[in-house]
């Protein structure tokens, strides 16, 4: 089964196994907001991103074709300057199969509004681990490692740390690179608490170790056991939700918790609609406290 084999893969990450492409990514670019521009350029860019993400090897893991991680990148182009600066937002999503079912659970649902990069049609997208090449390559590679890290974290406790370390390395390189002001915004340590720097800083911070352990338990000890015992899996997910409240009390509006709920809010509602009365009360109380903007959605658990 995919869930079991991915767990084994995560243990082999640093053991020098033969590399293979890890991602199966659908890429779309929407440039409808940009008038009078070279639309063909964006078709070329879409194909270049597709080729880069799907044909690059980011780790030493071996993935079969069936095990490649399903993900998507949707870019909305807001403007293009005469100098070739593309200002866009990027929606990144990934999912992983749940053991014994046909269901795929969302892991990431992130919207990055600070996606700016210099681009001319037919520019090559290349990433060098030892040096900063272009901002576009850095952004794409960051999110590829982020997708991998989240996926591996869902199969083994903090199994995604090597990939998150690569994200942190990319952030450091971008902060030191000679890039335009617009390009730097997503990498800044200050000024925006929902950017690429903040997210990886949260993930690599030991203060969030309990959250990352819960991320593993949610998937491997919760979702992955529900095909055999729904009540046990649901109870495991419910009992661990207290971690979210503890993190929220210590650091309100923490980005890593926001990203978890951006991906999981609908799933949590569906899981606990069939929960016990005590589970429903506890879960609604916790989720409404840490994610008040979606309180109305969480109240559907009680319907």
- For each of the chain's 303 residues, which pLDDT tens digit applies? 455 445 444 444 443 334 479 999 999 999 999 987 678 999 999 999 999 999 999 999 888 888 999 999 999 999 999 999 999 999 999 999 999 999 999 999 999 999 999 999 999 999 988 889 999 999 999 999 999 999 999 999 999 999 999 999 999 999 999 899 899 999 999 878 899 999 999 999 999 999 999 999 999 999 999 999 999 999 999 999 999 999 998 888 799 999 999 999 999 999 999 999 999 999 999 999 999 999 999 999 998
Q: Are residues 171 and 212 in the same domain?
A: no
Q: From edge to edge, which strands make up the β-sheet containing 69-80?
A: 23-30, 69-80, 85-97, 104-118
Q: Are residues 288 and 174 in the same domain?
A: no
Bin 156: left if φ > 0, else alpha if -120 < ψ < 50, else beta. Answer: beta
Q: Supply angle C-alpha 251, 254, 258, rounded to 5.
A: 140
Domain hosting 228: range is 208-302
Q: Are residues 113 and 261 in the same domain?
A: no
CA atoms of 171 and 177, how far apart (whole Å) = 10
β-partners of residue 62 are none
Residue 279: its pLDDT value, please? 97
Bin 101: left if φ > 0, else alpha if -120 < ψ < 50, else beta. Answer: beta
Which one, of 171, 28, 8, 43, lies nearest residue 93 by Cα?
Answer: 28
CA atoms of 91 and 76, how far apart (whole Å) = 8
Q: Are residues 61 and 162 in the same domain?
A: yes
Q: Are residues 267 and 127 in the same domain?
A: no
Residue 12: its pLDDT value, please? 43
Q: Are residues 191 and 47 in the same domain?
A: yes
Domain count within the chain: 2
Q: Are residues 237 and 132 in the same domain?
A: no
Q: Are residues 128 and 189 in the same domain?
A: yes
Residue 85: its pLDDT value, please? 95
Q: Are residues 72 and 173 in the same domain?
A: yes
CA atoms of 30 and 43, how far apart (whole Å) = 9
Q: Are residues 61 and 176 in the same domain?
A: yes
Residue 128: its pLDDT value, please? 87
Residue 36: its pLDDT value, please? 72
Residue 37: its pLDDT value, please? 62
Given 188, 204, 220, the domain boundary residue is: 204
Q: Are residues 35 and 141 in the same domain?
A: yes
Given 170, 204, 238, the domain boundary residue is: 204
Given 204, 224, 258, the domain boundary residue is: 204
Q: Are residues 183 and 45 in the same domain?
A: yes
Identify the three-state secondary structure at position 206: helix
Residue 38: its pLDDT value, please? 76
Residue 15: its pLDDT value, please? 37
Residue 17: its pLDDT value, please? 39
Residue ranges of alpha helices (H) inside the chain are 2-11, 39-55, 135-153, 161-176, 181-184, 196-204, 209-216, 230-240, 242-250, 255-272, 277-290, 295-298
Task: Using the CB atoms, write b or e for 20-50: b if 16+ within 10 Å.
Answer: ebbbbbebebebeebeeeeeebbebbbebbb
């Amino acid at each position: 089964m995919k869930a079991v084999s991915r767990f084994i893969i995560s243990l082999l990450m640093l053991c020098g196994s033969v590399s293979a492409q890890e991602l199966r990514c659908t890429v779309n670019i929407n440039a409808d907001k940009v008038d009078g521009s070279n639309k063909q350029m964006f078709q070329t860019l879409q194909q270049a991103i597709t080729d880069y993400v799907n044909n690059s090897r980011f780790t030493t893991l071996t993935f079969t074709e069936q095990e490649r991680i399903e993900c998507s990148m949707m870019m909305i182009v807001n403007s293009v300057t005469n100098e070739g600066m593309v200002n866009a937002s990027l929606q990144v999503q990934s999912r992983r199969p749940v053991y014994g079912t046909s269901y795929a659970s969302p892991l990431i649902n992130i919207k990055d509004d600070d996606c700016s990069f210099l681009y001319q049609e037919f520019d090559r997208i290349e990433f060098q681990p030892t040096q900063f090449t272009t901002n576009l390559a850095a952004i794409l590679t960051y999110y590829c490692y982020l997708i991998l890290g989240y996926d591996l974290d869902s199969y083994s406790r903090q199994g995604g740390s090597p990939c998150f370390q690569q994200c942190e390395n990319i952030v450091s390189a971008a902060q030191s690179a000679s890039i335009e002001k617009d390009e730097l915004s997503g990498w800044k340590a200050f000024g925006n608490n929902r950017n690429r720097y903040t997210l990886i800083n949260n993930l690599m911070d030991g203060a969030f170790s309990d959250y990352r352990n819960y991320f593993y338990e949610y998937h491997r000890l919760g979702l992955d056991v529900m095909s055999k015992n729904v009540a046990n899996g649901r109870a495991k997910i419910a009992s661990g939700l207290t971690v979210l409240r503890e993190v929220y009390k210590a650091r309100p509006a923490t980005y890593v918790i926001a990203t978890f709920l951006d991906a999981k809010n609908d799933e949590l509602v569906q899981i606990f609609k069939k929960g016990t009365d005590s589970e429903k009360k506890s879960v609604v109380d916790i989720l409404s406290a840490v994610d008040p903007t979606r309180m109305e959605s969480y109240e559907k658990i009680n319907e």
